[in-house]
Amino acid sequence: MNIFSCKEKSETTFEEESEDLALVEPDIYEFGFNLNDFTVKRDTIRKGDSFGQILERNKIGYPDIFQIAEKAKDTFNIRNLQIGKPYTLLCSKDSLEIPRCFIYQPNQEEFVVINFHDSIHAYTSRKPIKYVEKTVTGIVTSSISEILDKQGISPILTNMLAEQIYAWTIDFTRLQKGDIFKVVYTDKYIDDTIYAGVHNVKAAFFNHKDTPYYAFRYQTDSIKNIHEYYNEAAKDLRRAFLKAPVQFSRISSRYNLNRRIAYYGFALRPHKGTDFAAAVGTPILATANGTVTESQYKGGNGNYVKIRHNATYETQYLHMQKRKVKVGDRVKQGDVIGTVGMTGNTGGPHVCYRFWKNGQQVDPLKEKFSQSEPIAESLKGDYLEFIKPIKEKLDGLPILDSSNKEENDNLISQNN
């Protein structure tokens, strides 16, 4: 007689159940399908590929391909497949591996499903998007891009701060050691795991040259989904003119009416422009809205463009590699009007930026420009209430010390 104790029986059952559980694959969902139900084949569109060729390579005959394409054409034109874009085939989970579904991704977020498993139908959908609010602070010791890079933050954030938010108020090429900054921003993730970059900046603060500069993102038109950045007093951060016609450059020569050059025997050679040194090909931006009045190659100026902004102001951009506008064109502030070059009389790649006020060339860095109109009076009360908790959060953020990595890591984990 074999006698088993309860303990022995229990252990044996538990081991058998554990083995069974180990064989169960966890469900993996993507594009709305359980991938465990299929043999999954992934690839990218290659040169010469067509929808028909892809399916034919995977054992679908041309009569069926034609029928699938006809049924799908109202949703997606199969001729629009682009080289380098990914696609997925969901195939039968057997030795034949016959395709049941074709999924094409024109970008990271969208995907097109052409399903021909039972009946043929096609539709476009989007992957789930998640937005995560994060913060970053720091003390300027070098360039902002270097500081953010050390913290593993996308360079897109630097561009947003320099080109979109503070382009009219802070020259990022002239930040000083000891300046501090704080930023509340939103990162974008696709399917919870795919990082898709910085979505937007919710608020920012710079203490530059002992002057505070706040910026808060606020929706001024819900129908058109228009957002602008205003300061703590509800004033628009945009100014009449950009501080520089090129981003991330340095001033190599200032406006100077008393300049003397050794090469010319120290003769008086006034310099009525401001030179911004930058690499050849760097985009040159219109510093304000206006109309192009000159676009040509002329003597020592080389390729240049001149813009009239209103009855008072004109600007000119010299030594371009290429001109991208013609006389009569209307340009907006920030539009690319040319690229940095070395045409005309120049010793290196730069743009000579000239500024006229009432027909006289003046130093743009010494001009006092008023800010744009403040927020509409009807929105001001709502705006001030809206920014209260955001400003409190911004003011309460601890400043990271770039010399203490361990402390920084702790603060980053606490704030994010």
* pLDDT surpasses 50 at 6: no
Residue 346's CB is within 10 A of a number of other CB atoms, namely 17
Q: What is the pLDDT of residue 272?
A: 85
| Nearest CA among 397, 383, 374, 368 for reference residue 207 | 397
Question: Which of the residue ranges 63-72, 159-168, 389-398 has the most confident prediction, judged by mean pLDDT?
Answer: 389-398
* Token code pair at residue 293: 């009045």
Q: What is the mean pLDDT of residues 77-89?
A: 94
Mean pLDDT of the chain: 85
Of 107, 126, 145, the residue that ends a domain is 126
Domain around 87: 23-126
For the record, the structure tokens of 235 come out as: 């004033």
Lowest mean pLDDT among 37-46, 259-268, 328-337: 259-268
H helix count then E strand count, the chain:
7, 24
End-of-domain residue from the set 111, 126, 141: 126
pLDDT recorded at residue 298:
94
Of 393, 364, 380, 334, nearest to 214 by C-alpha is 393
Q: Residue 329 has what pLDDT?
A: 93
pLDDT for the residue 10: 47
Whether residue 188 contacts residue 196, with contact meaning beta carbons closer than 8 Å, is answered with yes
Whether residue 267 lies inside any domain: the answer is yes
CA 254 to chain centre: 32
State the pLDDT confidence band at 1, using cuts at 50, 70 and 90: very low
Task: Give this prediction's pTM.
Answer: 0.61
Please report the sign of the dihedral spanned by the C-alpha atoms of residue 315, residue 229, residue 180, residue 189.
negative
Mean pLDDT of 266-285: 84
Which CATH number covers residue 232? Answer: 3.10.450.350
pLDDT tier, 18 (very low <50, low <70, confident <90, very high otherwise):
low
Residues 71 and 178 both lie in one domain: no
Residue with the bigger pLDDT between 114 and 406: it is: 114
Q: In the prediction, which pLDDT does 261 show?
A: 56
43/150 same-domain check: no
Q: Are residues 77 and 174 in the same domain?
A: no
Three-class SS of residue 9? helix
Q: CA 213 → CA 165, 166, 201, 275, distances in Å? A: 11, 9, 15, 27
Average pLDDT over residues 347-373: 83
Q: Which of 81, 96, 126 is the last residue of a domain?
A: 126
Distance CA(320)–CA(340), nearest Å, equals 5
pLDDT at position 256 over 70: yes
What is the C-alpha separation between 138 and 405, in angstroms, rounded?
Answer: 12
Radius of gyration of the chain (CA): 30
Whether 383 maps to a domain, the answer reads no
User: Are both 226 and 257 inside the same structural domain?
Assistant: no
Closest CA to 114 of 68, 83, 81, 79: 68
Residue at 214 is within a domain? yes
The dihedral region occupied by 209, where left means phi > 0, alpha psi between -120 and 50, and beta the remainder, is left
- Residue 98 forms part of a structural domain: yes
Q: How far is CA 126 from CA 108, 129, 195, in A?
A: 9, 8, 15
CA distances from 189 to 103, 128, 162, 196 (A): 21, 9, 23, 5
Residues sharing a CB contact under 8 Å with residue 345, sequence separation 6 or more, in sequence order: 299, 300, 302
Tokens of 129: 């998007």
**pLDDT number for residue 57:** 93
% pLDDT > 70, the chain: 86
Read off the tokens for 363.
Answer: 């130093």
Q: What pLDDT shows up at residue 98?
A: 94
The DSSP output letter for 294 is E
Q: Determine how many CB atoms are found less than 10 A away from the CB of residue 16.
A: 10
Q: What is the pLDDT of residue 8?
A: 46
How many Å apart are CA 265 and CA 172, to the nearest integer? 36
- Alpha carbon distance, N-terminus to C-terminus of the chain: 66
Residues 120 and 139 in one domain: no
DSSP 133-173: EEEEEEE-SS-HHHHHHHTT--HHHHHIIIIIISTTT--GG
Average pLDDT of the segment spanning 334-339: 94
Give me the number of domains the chain comprises: 3
pLDDT digits (tens, 9 = 90+) for 183-239: 999 999 998 888 888 999 999 999 998 889 999 999 988 888 888 899 999 988 877
- The top-scoring range by mean pLDDT among 152-166, 299-313, 385-399 is 385-399
Examine the pLDDT at 248 and tell me if it is beyond 90: no
If asked whether residues 305 and 358 sit together in one domain, one would say: yes
CA-to-CA dists, residue 215 to 140, 202, 205, 232, 397, angstroms = 18, 8, 6, 7, 15
Domain contains 15: no
Distance separating alpha carbons of residues 308 and 330, to the nearest angstrom: 10
Give residue for tokens 């974008």. 188
Asked if 264 and 341 sit in the same domain, the reply is: yes
Burial of 248 (0-12, 13-18, 19+ CB in 10 A): middle
Buried b (16+ CB within 10 A) or exposed e, 67-93: ebbeebeeebebeebeeeeebbbbbee
Residue type, 392: E
- Answer yes or no: is 296 within a domain: yes
Residues 147 and 217 in one domain: yes
In a domain, 346, yes or no: yes
Alpha carbon of residue 139 to chain centroid: 23
Would 1 be classed as within a structural domain? Answer: no
Residue 328, judged by CB atoms within 10 A of its CB (0-12, 13-18, 19+), counts as exposed
